[in-house]
A and B are shown apart, each in its own frame.
Chain A
Amino acid sequence: MNIRDLAFRFLPALLLLAFTLSFVVTSFDYKADTRAMPLVIAVLTVVLLVLELLAQRRDRIGEVLRRFFTGKSHLPVGTPGKTPSVGREIGAVLWVVAFLVLAILVGFYIAIPVYVFAYLAIYVRKPPLISAITALGIVALLYVLFEVLLSYPIFSGVLFGGYM
């Protein structure tokens, strides 16, 4: 049993448990009728999460719970399907977040070509010319679609006076 296996089995339920418990705790700040429904749902979800954590154990209780809820008594070995590296996954999220931050700062019309070119030419190593054409093509498409056809003004970035 390694840390990766343990994390795969228990981490999601533990994170969801923390999220749900935060609702339980916060709900007591509100009046009884306002908190009633979310509190009931949160408590039920906590019970389900505890069952999920027990179902991940490699003992008799875990086996019984797995058989009841999933119809299978065995635990999946490791992560299902392909197992991408955590570094690659974090990298993927960072690319999206970086694009978002850039769009907030300078708006979509600058962020899109910068991001598309950087992603294609640097990250996936496509030819620079094709990367540039793709980047400009996407901006042109979005401009025609939103600004010309739909008359939707697109965000221009907080640095250029855009309103969030």
Chain B
Amino acid sequence: MFEAISASFSGLIFSGGILYLCIGTFVGLLFGIIPGLGGPTALALLIPLTFGIDTHSSMFLAGAIMGAVPFGGSVTAILINTPGTAPNAATVFDGYPLARQGKAGLALGASGAASAIGGLLGVLVLFAVLPIARDVILAFAPPEFFMLAVLGLCAIAVSTEGKFLRGLIAAGVGLLIAAIGYDDISGAVRFTYGVDYLWDGVPLVPALIGLFAIAQILSLYVEGGSISEDPGKVKVTRVMDGVKSVFTHYPTLLRGSVIGAVIGAIPGVGGTVAAFLSYSTEVQLSKEPETFGKGNIRGVIAPESSNNAREGGALIPTLAFGIPGSAEMAVFLGMLVLHGLQPGPAVLLDHLDVVTSLMLSLAIASVLASVFCLLVARQLAAITLIDVSYLVPIILSVSLVGAYALNSSMYDVIVTVIFGVIGYLMIRFDYPRLPLVIALFLGGIVEVNFRQSLMISSGDWTTFFTRSISLVLFILIVVSLLLPLVRQVFKRRAARSGKEIKA
């Protein structure tokens, strides 16, 4: 291992690795900041370009992109309520309210530091877990995947404080939308109502751009003014306060990083679930859950640390078993194959130096991207002072062109606008968007794993409760659903005891 690490450092310093690392970091930030693009697109575009360069340099490039994209996406999430990539959606809920309160610098500082440290912790987890990764991954079968997905949904519905019922309704509607298109088990086409475009289902990223970017544009149209409620209050000088807050709230940082690394390691669940799960965990553990969604700095730290840490986690099944943990990792596997590497245990045994190069670039890029963005945080935060009249057409144009660029399809743009209107109506009528978004992601996972579980067990329902991990996840689901009730009981008791003391 030591030889592999020293070979990677040597490649980084003496063979032009630093240059590829810087290019990858810049490209990653750019693709992260532009709504609708993101890591998979950046990697897919760069795969043909890496053919002419050596494997180590390719790993520096790929690792830097993977390390920089998550933080790039948080910049727009905080400043203009538009997540650059899907996993940054959770950052919107507290990052944007902070920007509106004139604390964009604070939010950016916290996001940058959490991303950097989360990224480093994710790589450390990868480093530590690689030797035992196989047993952990193989312990997850369809019943566990099903329970994990349901837990994600319940936890998120519950985290919408005061809107539990509406959160569950939004989740239900999201699951129904996710059911549109091919049934992954039987191959039948469902609920397309004669529209061929819907055979592959409602495209996720255009829907996300609509629910966040377009919905926000519609709100800005209606409200006018600037993003910051009081332009005079914008204090970008508090960037370092944001960095410090990450250390003050270190349990949040550690929880977010661990959740990110663990969830990232589970194939198919992805970074969005990790970010939302770490966010909802913070809400549930907080003594003041009502402050979330209104500008609680922990609501920025948790998803951002998780978001970057999951990159390290996602590399575990990708490198160890050749099972991609996400779309980004699937594209990355393509890059490995292009360079003559067979993903799986052979990579770890025969090409450990390639793996360490990747880990090194991932770790450095997480820090480099954050430092770079924090240096220009003042300029970035100034975006919130711009008259929204100018921002509206800019965001709309970039969002719609970004939605088109995903698949070169104008139907994706139409879906984006439709979901934009839905998102605006949800804001307007006080329905939480978070459960809808997460249900869109988890719909396929829930159904496929539920049906596979029953197929494997020959229709025996007890399979969900007789497997230890599945049972633990089920208990967590029940606990998560009971939490609001328990919290209410405690609040009432506290209120009563308060009255008695006054009397």
- The chain A residues found within 8 Å of chain B, CB to CB, are 8, 11-13, 16, 19-20, 23, 26-27, 30-31, 33-35, 37-38, 41-42, 44-45, 48-49, 51-52, 55, 65, 69-72, 76, 79-80, 82, 84, 88-89, 91-93, 95-97, 99-100, 103-104, 108, 112, 115-116, 119-120, 124, 126, 134-135, 138, 142, 145-146, 150, 152-155, 162, 164
Contact = CB atoms under 8 A, between A and B. Distances in A.
A8 to B, nearest CB: 7
Secondary structure at the A interface, as helix, strand, loop or mixed, is helix
Given A12-B425, A34-B190, A116-B397, A96 B451 contact: no
A52 B169 contact: yes
Contacts of B389: 119-120, 124, 126
B116 to A, nearest CB: 26
B45 A150 contact: yes
Contact of B168 (A13, A48, A119): A48
B397 to A, nearest CB: 5
Given A20-B173, A79-B428, 11 more contacts: A23-B191, A34-B183, A38-B179, A65-B165, A88-B221, A88-B222, A89-B222, A92-B218, A103-B400, A108-B400, A138-B398
| Most chain A beta-carbon contacts within 10 A, residue among B45, B176, B420 | B176
Given A84-B222, A103-B400, A12 B431 contact: yes
B183 A92 contact: no
Contacts of B425: 12
A8 B429 contact: yes
- List the 10 closest pairs (A to B, CB-CB), nearest first: A45-B172, A92-B221, A69-B165, A38-B179, A124-B389, A116-B393, A12-B429, A84-B222, A164-B410, A34-B188
Contacts of B175: 38, 41
24 contacts: A12-B425, A30-B190, A34-B183, A34-B188, A38-B190, A41-B176, A45-B173, A71-B491, A88-B221, A89-B222, A89-B424, A93-B421, A93-B424, A96-B417, A97-B417, A103-B400, A116-B397, A119-B389, A120-B389, A134-B393, A138-B393, A138-B394, A150-B405, A162-B410
A112 B397 contact: yes
B466 interface: no
Nearest to A44: B172
Contact of B405 (A99, A112, A124, A152): A152
Given A20-B172, A23-B191, A31-B188, A37 B222 contact: no
| Most chain A beta-carbon contacts within 10 A, residue among B165, B183, B217, B411 | B165
A84 B393 contact: no
Given A35-B190, A38-B179, A82 B223 contact: yes
Nearest to B417: A100
B429 A37 contact: no
Secondary structure at the B interface, as helix, strand, loop or mixed, is helix
B352 interface: no
Nearest to A43: B172
B248 interface: no
